[in-house]
Structure 1
Amino acid sequence: MLPQEAIPAGPAVLRPPVQGDADQIARACADPDIARFIPFLPSPYSRDDALAWITKAMPGVWENGGAGFVVADPVTDEVLGTAMLKPPDRFGATEVGYWLAPWARGRGVVTAAVRTLAERAFARGVPRIGLLTDVENVASQHVALRCGFAHEGVLRGAGTPRGGTPADIAAFGRLSTDPGDPITPFLPFFPGGFPGGSLTDGVVRLTPLTTADAADYFALASVPDVMDSHVPPAEPSYAEIEVVCRYAGHRWLTGQRADIAIRDARTGAFAGDIQLTGVVPPLGQAMLGYSLHPAHRGRGMVTRAVNLLAGWAFTHTPLRRIVAGTTPGNTSSQRVLERAGFVREHLVEGLLPGPGGSRLDDIQWARTRP
């Protein structure tokens, strides 16, 4: 597929691995994130494991038409990571894989390496390159988008088992006919990125929902009046809550929805949740939802959260319109929307599923970009 020679790649150089790289590769593969998201790597990872990869695994990749490189510093030759193209399938398509050492992150190194490999492969007639990554590996998904790989879906249970359960895999792909331009997320993360970014007004703080919030989120979803406002009105299982939390970064990055924790800014306590869902990019529209634990009610926290989120959305995303819905009897939620600048637009009879197969009316509200 590619010649076994060094290839310049912006802030790095791609070159075939040599036995002298073994110590640095072993040190990098001791990183918890590499171990977490590439679970088929030996653990603990030793110098002998690195030598086996260099002297046995990589020659096999080259012999079968693939390509395997060390990503190195062009000046010091320090190992920064690895990048490879798998042997092509019967249609000539391939798949790119990579990891980056902890000491090399945040420098655009792996993005440059993947982009360079893709361009070289397409120039040699490869029609398609796939990129598969753990659904929780948001950093790797960022690389995919920056390299022009389009999100194509999720392969459930297709990954190497981790903790006894096969991982879900986010699938990206790029065709030789694609422009290859970086793909800008429709919903950027809060300042500070994922998962550490946040918005605050000094009273409430909004942070991305993560797996660390699963227990608190489940407790909130189990509150009776919160359950009643679900669509459909039912208590979710803990497993369902875990999926929402595990997928939160992926769904946000790929523009599907933003799931957010509402926190007490002073204590950091989990107080509730707020979401942007039903995102329709051609319309510039998304739907707002929220709930608050009874222990934190009566302080205006939801109104503050709605104002924070709407202000961010109208400033930092292409959204022009945020809609929300309430049942006629949910006067507290209606007051929140009114205080946050939402305007009542109309009532849709029987839109919402209710208890016991009933149907409930929905009052629809909207707030538009100033």
Structure 2
Amino acid sequence: MDFTPTEAATDLAKLTADIVNRISPADRVAELESANAPIDERLWAELAGAGLLGLAAPESAEGAGLTTLETVAVATELGRGLARVPFGPHAVAGVPVVTAHGSDELVAELLTAAATGGKTITVAVEEDRNYTVAQPRTVLDGAGLSGTKVNVPYAAVADVVLVSAATPDGAVVVAVPVNDANVTLTETRVTGLTPAYTVEFNGVNVPASHILGGGAETVTQLVDLLRLAICADQEGATSAALAATAEYAREREQFGRAIGSFQAVAQRLADAFIDIQGLSLTTTQAAWLLSGLAETTPGEATIAVDAAKFWAAEAGHRVAHTAVHVHGGVGLDTTHTAHRYFLRAKQNEFTLGNAPVVLDELGDLLAAQV
């Protein structure tokens, strides 16, 4: 496997970094967070204008638009800037799944608008207590779609939510308009202070054209891509946290010398670097496999995603704490950027499974291959 970024991924990462630095610098992120803004509208519009939100020509999706490697490159840069936009659920997960498994009617209705920013997609797969992402308790039957999903990102600004649901024939993904009268949104405060909602479905009528093909395999693909987006966001956030911490360690002096020259501090920064490298490599491997650039055995891509999500949880935890500890009292100052990296990393650590949950799933997948 070649871990060298493609030329397109490198160019898109640079483009995204330029947009983020110009549109949404750190002080704007603080303003949006303080105002509890449902989305950074200016940044989302810029991403749409740059063609980063999806396939412009879904009818010729093969070889067109952005590959998973490329959307992951964009997501990483957005994570570096702590961007307040639903790029992961929309572009990394939602658009590819609808492109691959949506009916002609759904594709025509949704994808061109999604690519231009006219419509926004979010994803609802998490539930509260005693469930697995592959076996949802939300039910689709003759009475419609009923159940509750938690931690649904940016639901208030989304037009369509992709929902995992159980049917008598197995799990499926369905596309539901967020403004349906039988859909209820309740804002939920989350660790990272990004917009998240509990979404209740009370007998929502789902036409056949809005049930995606592929059954349980589509549910798995949706979850894999959403987890991968979290890993990319985590890689960006932790990389930025480490860069800011290293800079602080070079400038902050104690006992007449920069604190970065003390062995204990230098070792913690080195450990953080190694953690981020592990996260970066496993995220790249998963993105490579999900991009279809290599032949895979059943379950291989999901195993790679789970490995990356484990690193996102473990590395995120350690790097976030290192950033706060090395910053000292500044790391706890809510007017400083350091605490925002910490909060984003903690949210990513637990979203869609913390380290023990993911390891349990990973063990089951590996055992099934024996």
TM class by shorter-chain length?
under 0.3
Structure of higher CA gyration radius: 1
Report the TM-score, using the length of structure 1 for normalisation: 0.22
Report the TM-score, using the length of structure 2 for normalisation: 0.22
Bigger share in strand: 1
Bigger share in helix: 2
